């Protein structure tokens, strides 16, 4: 933005200083960064489940639909990032609703505590298959290898 001043009959055009002060902006950005760094691990906590350890494990970075069975046999459905307790009888209907038009193309992840009875695990797997979802992955933890193995 320019403006004109007259001093002693001479017209002078001057430009206004339009510099942005960056210091407050940097302060706000750093505070937000610290807040997100502190809250991110809290959001990932979920339900405490001791999953079995295996040698072949693939890391997932995307949000997925996960069915979790805790050590007491309680079933939870994670859809949209939040674990919600669900009755085993309602699991098939909820999974059908989440799967949409083509459930055969959907992937569901089953995360079960290693202390869960096989009968409970089999009932959950049956509910998932009755929903029409055929692509089922079981979540495990990697085995910590020692040198020489």
Burial of 55 (0-12, 13-18, 19+ CB in 10 A): exposed
What are the backbone dihedrals phi and psi of residue 139, each rounded to the nearest 5 degrees, phi first?
Answer: -85, 130
Q: Is 132 left (phi over 0), alpha (psi -120 to 50) or beta?
A: left
The answer to whether 67 and 111 have CB atoms below 8 angstroms apart is yes
Q: What's the pTM?
A: 0.56
pLDDT in tens, the chain (149 residues): 566 777 666 777 777 667 778 898 999 999 999 998 887 766 655 666 666 666 665 665 556 788 999 888 899 998 777 788 999 889 888 888 887 777 777 888 888 888 889 899 999 999 999 988 888 888 877 767 555 55
Strand partners, 108: 65, 136
- Residue in this structure with the two tokens 């939870």, named with its chain if needed: 76
Domains and CATH numbers, the chain: 2-43 (no CATH), 53-142 (3.30.420.270)
């Amino acid at each position: 933005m320019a403006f004109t001043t007259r001093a002693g009959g001479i017209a002078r055009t001057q430009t206004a200083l339009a510099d942005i002060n960056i210091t407050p902006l940097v302060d706000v950005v750093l505070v937000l960064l610290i807040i997100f760094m502190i809250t991110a691990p809290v959001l990932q906590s979920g339900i405490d489940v001791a999953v079995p350890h295996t040698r072949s494990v693939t890391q997932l970075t995307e949000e997925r639909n996960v069915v979790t069975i805790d050590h007491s046999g309680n079933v939870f459905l994670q859809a949209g990032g939040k674990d919600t307790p669900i009755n085993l009888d309602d699991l098939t209907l909820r999974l059908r609703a989440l799967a949409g038009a083509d459930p055969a193309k959907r992937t569901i992840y089953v995360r079960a505590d290693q202390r869960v009875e096989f009968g409970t695990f089999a009932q959950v797997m049956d509910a998932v298959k009755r929903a029409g979802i055929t692509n089922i992955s079981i979540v495990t933890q990697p085995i910590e290898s020692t040198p020489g193995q």
